[in-house]
Amino acid sequence: MEQTTTKREDISSIDYQEFVINMGPQHPSTHGVLRLMLKLKGEIVEVVQPHCGYIHRGIEKMCEHITYPQTIHLTDRLDYLSAHMNNEAVCLLVENALQIEVPERVKYIRTILDELTRLASHQLWWCAFGMDMGALTTFFYGLRDREKILDIFEKTTGSRLIQSFNVPGGLMNDIHKDFQKEVKEFIKYFRKILPEYDQLLTGNVIFQQRTKDIGILTKEDAINFGVTGPSGRGSGFSCDVRKIAPYSAYPYVKFEEKLQTKGDTFSRYMVRMHEMWESMNILEQLIDNIPEGTHAVKMKPIIKLPEGEYYQRVEASRGEFGVHVISDGNKTPYRFKLRSPNFMNLSVMHHISRNHKIADLIAISGSLDLVIPDIDR
Partner 1 sequence: MIKEYFKDVFSGIASLLRGMKVTLSYFVRPSTIITQKYPENRAELKMFEAFRGEVVMPHNENNEHKCTGCGICEINCPNGSIEIISKFEVGEDGKKRKVIDQHIYRLAMCTFCGLCIKTCPSNALAWGQEFEHAVFDRTKLTKVLNQEGSTVQKGVKE
Q: Write the CB contacts of 227 (distance below 8 Å, at least 6 apart in sequence).
A: 217, 221, 235, 237, 319, 344, 345, 347, 348
Which of residues 75 and 231 has its CB atom nearest to partner 1 in the complex?
A: 75
* Ramachandran angles phi, psi of 319, nearest 5°: 145, -165
For residues 312 and 336, the answer to whether their CB atoms sit within 8 Å is no
Q: How far is the CB of 233 from partner 1 (least distance, A)?
A: 26
Which of residues 201 and 349 has its CB atom nearest to partner 1 in the complex?
A: 201
- 159 part of the interface to partner 1, by CB under 8 A: yes
* Ramachandran angles phi, psi of 53, nearest 5°: 110, 0
Q: Where are the beta strands (DSSP E) in 286-374?
A: 308-316, 319-327, 335-339
- 300 part of the interface to partner 1, by CB under 8 A: no
Which one of residues 61, 73, 181, 188 is an interface residue with partner 1 (CB under 8 A)? 73
Q: Write the CB contacts of 234 (distance below 8 Å, at least 6 apart in sequence).
A: 217, 260, 262, 263, 264, 267, 268, 269, 270, 271, 367
Please tell me the distance from the alpha carbon of residue 56 to that of residue 315, in angstroms, as a whole number: 23
Please tell me the distance from the alpha carbon of residue 79 to that of residue 88, in angstroms, as a whole number: 13
Which of residues 149 and 344 has its CB atom nearest to partner 1 in the complex?
A: 149
Cis check: omega of the bond before 25, within 30 degrees of 0: yes
- 173 part of the interface to partner 1, by CB under 8 A: yes
Q: Which helix (H) or strand (E) holds 175?
A: none
What DSSP designation does 248 have?
A: T
Which one of residues 157, 235, 267, 345 is an interface residue with partner 1 (CB under 8 A)? 157
Q: Which helix (H) or strand (E) holds 44?
A: strand 44-51
- 306 part of the interface to partner 1, by CB under 8 A: no
- 218 part of the interface to partner 1, by CB under 8 A: no
- 85 part of the interface to partner 1, by CB under 8 A: no
Distance of CA 27 to the CA centre of its chain: 21
Which one of residues 167, 286, 364, 375 is an interface residue with partner 1 (CB under 8 A)? 167
- 6 part of the interface to partner 1, by CB under 8 A: no
- Residue 295, CA atoms < 13 Å, CB-side half-sphere: 13
- 155 part of the interface to partner 1, by CB under 8 A: yes
Which of residues 9 and 301 has its CB atom nearest to partner 1 in the complex?
A: 301
Which one of residues 60, 64, 154, 284 is an interface residue with partner 1 (CB under 8 A)? 154
Q: Where are the alpha helices (DSSP H) in 212-264?
A: 219-225, 229-233, 241-244
- 317 part of the interface to partner 1, by CB under 8 A: no
- String marking each residue 42-71 x if it binds partner 1 according to CB under 8 A: ------------------------xx-xx-
Which of residues 37 and 55 has its CB atom nearest to partner 1 in the complex?
A: 55
Which of residues 72 and 239 has its CB atom nearest to partner 1 in the complex?
A: 72
Q: How far is the CB of 153 from partner 1 (least distance, A)?
A: 10
Nearest to 227 by CA among 85, 76, 339: 339
Helix, strand, or coil (residue 25): coil
Which of residues 38 and 72 has its CB atom nearest to partner 1 in the complex?
A: 72
Total residues binding partner 1 (CB under 8 A): 32
Which one of residues 147, 185, 307, 309 is an interface residue with partner 1 (CB under 8 A)? 147
Q: Write the CB contacts of 334 (distance below 8 Å, at least 6 apart in sequence).
A: 64, 326, 327, 328
- 205 part of the interface to partner 1, by CB under 8 A: yes
- 144 part of the interface to partner 1, by CB under 8 A: yes
Residues that bind partner 1 (CB under 8 A): 66-67, 69-70, 72-74, 137, 144, 147, 154-159, 162, 164, 167, 172-173, 176, 196, 199-201, 203-206, 208, 301
